[in-house]
Amino acid sequence: MAHVPTQVRSEQFIEAAVRIIAEQGVPRATTRRIAEAANAPLASLHYCFRDKDGLFLAVFQHLADEAASTFASLEPAELEVTVARLVEFMGRWVVEHPDYALAQLDLYLWMARHRPALAAESAEVYLGAVADVLQRSAGPSVPADRIKGLASVLAGVADGLVVQRAALRDQAHVDAYVAAFLAGVPGLCARARGEESASDAS
């Protein structure tokens, strides 16, 4: 069997884990099944990752990096514009990558139940990527804790999109969900800046 570089083999295991988790759920994503799906020896998996937790964290990191790479490519704009672009991207992503989206959510819920420390570490990875984009748009005048709060709201929107897409398989429903959230973006951004929104004033 030809030698496969460790980095390449690791990526194969991560992709295989995503497929197994999306199709069968985290409990059935054993290292043996993942190795078989990657068409690789089980010993190679244990060489690439310290244990299954290490593999699962790498999977979550990979999925977060996929999103973060798109986030990072967004041109700086007003906070409202950036938030709208992020939400629109999330809506497209769950439709175009349903396996990735479902695997990410399923994996996070499993970690929250069984590996809470790992879940917290994984959440910080995703929130950090979103917060970085928002902070660039908001500028230094908006405190980091408010930006992180806004990032948490957007993470909740992403989770809701994944669940509704998985349950209903209806792009029109996803589009309506996105449109409804976008209507509230100005108020969310005003609160992040510490401003009084029009609805608060009334």
Question: Per residue in 15-38, pLDDT tens?
Answer: 999 999 988 888 899 999 999 999
Measured from the Cβ of residue 169, the count of other Cβ atoms closer than 10 Å reads 11
Q: How confident is the model at residue 176, as a pLDDT?
A: 94
Query: Of the candidates 68, 201, 64, which has an alpha carbon nearest to the alpha carbon of residue 132?
Result: 68
Mean residue pLDDT of the chain comes to 88
pLDDT band at 44 (very low <50, low <70, confident <90, very high): very high
Would you put residue 70 in left (φ > 0), alpha (ψ -120 to 50) or beta?
Answer: alpha
Residue 201 has pLDDT above 80, yes or no: no
pLDDT band at 191 (very low <50, low <70, confident <90, very high): very high
Q: How confident is the model at residue 104, as a pLDDT?
A: 82
Question: Per residue in 91-138, pLDDT tens?
Answer: 998 898 888 888 888 888 888 998 898 888 878 878 888 898 999 999
pTM: 0.78
Residue 40 has pLDDT above 90, yes or no: yes
Q: What is the mean pLDDT of residues 44-61?
A: 89
Residue 73 has pLDDT above 70, yes or no: yes
d(CA 121, CA 90): 21
Q: What is the mean pLDDT of residues 66-92?
A: 85
99, 101, 105, 111 alpha-carbon torsion, rounded to 10° = 70
Residue 69 has pLDDT above 80, yes or no: no
Residue 197 has pLDDT above 60, yes or no: no
Contact at 8 Å (CB) between 50 and 76? no
